[in-house]
Chains A and B, each alone.
Chain A
């Protein structure tokens, strides 16, 4: 069974389009995250949710809107896509909040290419 799953795995789209990425975890964790990994492999947190509540919004443009319908799901909607949004987006989850010793479990990633 996949612990953290994301769809789609690849996403190629034109500038200006709107797209969504979905994430689900079956680990029973309370906290979920979105990370962006750029072409230099720099991994940066975008958002975190704990029990469906937004905990961290890391100065991400408001074109990015996360939604957590329940604590097992965290989706990411991106409006008006720009070239600079091209990256790999990882969803992750952990039992508790990120600051402590809990392991974060990452999904397989969604490679977004904006043309």
Chain B
């Protein structure tokens, strides 16, 4: 089967750095995506990793280790507006995205 695991909740203060981990079991794995969802909103795409290593997009970076079936999202210089749920998702040869259980990030002043 396919499964992804993330921590259910992470808290941090403004200006800090936080890492959200994701471990997966996915047959025919292609890549790992990250999506952000604010309360009452829709998921929005943040990043995609197909190869091992770090991808950086502004304050957000995403890492993938295919050999470890592991990835993480790194959020730097946290802002209050970063309070949201973050989902990792795996793409595979099944032509569908499987989403993780989501990590709720709360940023405190």
Contacts and interface: CB of A to CB of B under 8 A. Distances in A.
Interface residues of B, number: 26
B87 A97 contact: no
Chain A interface size, under 10 / 10 to 19 / 20 to 34 / 35 or more? 20 to 34
Interface stretch (B13-21, B38-46, B68-76): B38-46
Interface in A47-86: 48, 55-56, 58
Which secondary structure dominates where chain A touches chain B? loop
Contact of B93 (A41, A55, A99, A105): A99
B45 A99 contact: no
Interface in B7-60: 28, 30-31, 33, 35, 37, 41-45, 48, 50
A76 B91 CA distance: 24
Contacts of B43: 43, 90, 104, 106
Interface of B: 28, 30-31, 33, 35, 37, 41-45, 48, 50, 85, 87, 91-99, 101-102
State the 3 A-B residue pairs at the shortest beta-carbon distance, nearest first: A106-B42, A103-B45, A43-B99
